[in-house]
């Protein structure tokens, strides 16, 4: 091949290959991309979009990471959620007066991992909140937790002072605080809620048992405005007056404790309940003190002679005895080595009303023996005296029943010794004795007569109920009766006293009495039953050395009736009813011609 041909071929090859371009780095490519050329605009927009998407993805991912994994945020959120769901419904009395409500408070929390100088934080916080324990606070802030409480429920001034400190990692959370505007009034019924707004006792605990805490636990955000108020059967006016009169009686008779309750016999509503000494549910530091128990619901006591009302009702309702039956009380009733006698012996044969009025142990023991042990037990069970009385209040007591119940037990229980019950149980039974014989379960919630009668039981004949009203009225209106000190003019009161010696270390203590008084108002057409109990009252001036119920529980009950009955719509009547007990008059019962 010639030299010319080789040169031509080389030239042709050089012309067919593209010219080589100088190499460019990343910077060069970027400059080339952002040169103001029309053919580069699409690439620029695409790159900008990728950058923005990447940036926002990074920020969003970080936020999601913090929300999901940050212990600080999650714990604060949980605390806030708990606060919102801890709202409780208002509690009001039968007339709409507020007994318990929520108010907004602020609590201080810390995020220990965000506090730079923990010693300085402790020093500053304890200076503003002097009741904080410095050592405890230092231990809290020394943890790796994302959330700890510093102080619950601070004042607005304290909040402002803590805020001015400007400590990073210190914050505030709103909370609901339970407040009881009437202080001690109805404390044993209301109970109280703790710092986390959880019900600890009484109606507050009942509210939680109805499902409120289940909703809270499920994370539902409940506010007080979403919850219907709980309306109780209590009357705040009667509650205040009852507490005041019991406090006066406790001081006058130097009693260890006292208690009282008022029951609407037609609805079973508890209109008032007081047990002294009590406590302030706003600061329930003394609530667990053994002397501050709810003696009406939680205490169990031998009710003494007030139980004779049940024995007489049992005898009359059995058909074996009637209002004109007689019982031999000329001498003591012997049973083995035991002899039953009367406190004020008459030493004669007594009619049924006289057994009640003279409070004869012998007469009531003979009645119970006539009915028999099994009949006696069946009657008391029917009247709710042998099982736990269940109401809305979670706190209630089992009666103390003899493990081996024989004839001697029946004889002593007939006059109120040997069986211990909660006073509310006894009060409920007396309500049935006088309201026509209908056993209505007591309630602390407001209800109508129709609602009360839906599940009520007829436990006595109506004529037996009239006889019981009659003998209770006789006991308050005749000189022989023990209820004269409670017979307030104009209210046609009937009643029964009861005095029992307290059991101390398994023995009856002669100098420690537990006295009771049960009153029905008015006796011809009962509306309310009043109960007063006094624990270890003393003989004082004017009682002639006696510390029995007729000298203390009875006059205190009289003062209560005089003050409260008009508030409850029972005005005084100064003309006695014409025919209050028509059946007793027709049968010629003892005392009906007086």
Which positions are catalytic?
A: 305
Could you tell me if 452 and 266 are in contact, meaning their C-beta atoms sit under 8 angstroms apart? yes
Contacts 24+ apart (CB under 8 A), 53-59: none
Q: Nearest to residue 315, comparing CAs of 235, 376, 384?
A: 376
Q: What CA–CA distance (Å, rounded) separates 381 from 378? A: 5
Q: What CA–CA distance (Å, rounded) separates 164 from 584? A: 81
Q: Dihedral of the CA atoms 587, 589, 591, 594 (nearest 10)?
A: 10
The answer for residues whose C-beta is within 8 angstroms of residue 436's C-beta and 6 or more apart is: 460, 462, 465
- Tokens in use for 323? 């209002």
The helix/strand/coil state of 457 is strand
Q: Within a 13 Å sphere around the CA of 347, how many CA atoms are in the beta-carbon half?
A: 0
Q: Nearest to residue 516, comparing CAs of 384, 408, 396, 424?
A: 424
Biggest CA–CA distance in the chain, Å, is 170
Q: What CA–CA distance (Å, rounded) separates 314 from 145? A: 68
- Tokens in use for 433? 């004795």
Strands in 199-277 per DSSP E: 199-201, 230-231, 257-264, 270-276
């Amino acid at each position: 091949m010639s030299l010319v041909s080789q040169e031509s071929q080389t030239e042709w090859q050089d012309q067919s290959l593209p010219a080589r371009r100088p190499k460019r780095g990343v910077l060069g490519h970027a400059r080339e991309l952002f040169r103001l050329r029309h053919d580069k605009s699409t690439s620029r927009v695409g790159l900008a979009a990728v950058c923005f998407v990447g940036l926002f993805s990074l920020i969003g991912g970080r936020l999601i990471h913090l929300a999901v994994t940050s212990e600080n945020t999650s714990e604060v959120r949980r605390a806030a959620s708990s606060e919102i769901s801890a709202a409780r419904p208002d509690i009001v009395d039968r007339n709409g007066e507020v007994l318990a409500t929520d108010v907004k408070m602020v609590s201080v929390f810390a995020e220990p991992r965000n506090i730079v100088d923990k010693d300085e934080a402790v020093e500053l916080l304890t200076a503003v909140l002097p009741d904080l324990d410095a050592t405890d606070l230092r231990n809290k802030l020394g943890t790796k937790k994302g959330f700890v409480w510093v102080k619950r429920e601070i004042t607005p001034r304290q909040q402002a002072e803590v805020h001015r400190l400007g400590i990073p990692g210190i914050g505030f959370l709103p909370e609901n605080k339970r407040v009881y505007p009437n202080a001690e009034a109805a404390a044993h019924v209301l109970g109280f809620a703790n710092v986390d707004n959880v019900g600890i006792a009484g109606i507050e605990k009942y509210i939680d048992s109805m499902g409120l805490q289940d909703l809270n636990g499920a994370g539902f955000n409940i506010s007080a405005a979403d919850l219907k108020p709980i309306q109780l059967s209590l009357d705040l006016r009667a509650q205040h007056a009852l507490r005041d009169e019991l406090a006066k009686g406790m001081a006058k008779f130097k009693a260890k404790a006292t208690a009282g309750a008022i029951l609407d016999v037609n609805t079973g509503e508890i209109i008032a309940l007081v047990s002294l000494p009590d406590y302030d549910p706003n600061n329930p530091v003394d609530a667990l003190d053994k002397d501050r128990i709810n003696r009406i619901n939680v205490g169990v006591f031998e009710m003494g002679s007030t139980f004779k009302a049940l024995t007489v009702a049992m005898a009359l309702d059995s058909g074996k005895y009637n209002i004109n039956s007689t019982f031999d009380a000329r001498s003591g009733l012997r049973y083995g080595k035991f002899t039953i006698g009367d406190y004020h012996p008459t030493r004669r044969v007594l009619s049924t009303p006289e057994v009640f009025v003279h409070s004869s142990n012998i007469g009531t023991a003979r009645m119970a023996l006539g009915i028999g042990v099994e009949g006696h037990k069946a009657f008391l069970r029917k009247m709710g005296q042998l099982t736990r009385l269940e109401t809305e209040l979670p706190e209630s007591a089992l009666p103390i029943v003899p493990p081996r119940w024989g004839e001697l037990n029946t004889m002593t229980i007939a006059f109120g010794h040997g069986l211990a019950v909660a006073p509310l149980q006894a009060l409920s039974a007396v309500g049935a004795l006088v309201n026509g014989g209908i056993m209505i379960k007591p309630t602390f919630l407001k209800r109508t007569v129709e609602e009360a009668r839906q599940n009520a039981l007829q436990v006595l004949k109506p004529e037996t109920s009239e006889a019981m009203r009659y003998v209770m009225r006789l006991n308050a209106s005749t000189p022989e009766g023990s209820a004269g000190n409670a017979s307030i003019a104009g209210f046609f009161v009937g009643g029964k006293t009861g005095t029992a010696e307290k059991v101390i270390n398994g023995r009856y203590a002669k100098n420690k009495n537990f006295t009771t008084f049960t009153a029905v108002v008015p006796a011809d057409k009962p509306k309310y039953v009043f109960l007063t109990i006094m624990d270890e009252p003393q003989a004082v001036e004017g009682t002639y050395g006696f510390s029995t119920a007729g000298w203390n529980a009875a006059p205190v009950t009289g003062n209560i009736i005089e003050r409260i009955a008009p508030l409850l719509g029972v005005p005084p009547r100064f003309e006695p009813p014409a025919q209050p007990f028509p059946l007793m008059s027709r049968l010629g019962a003892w005392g009906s011609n007086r």
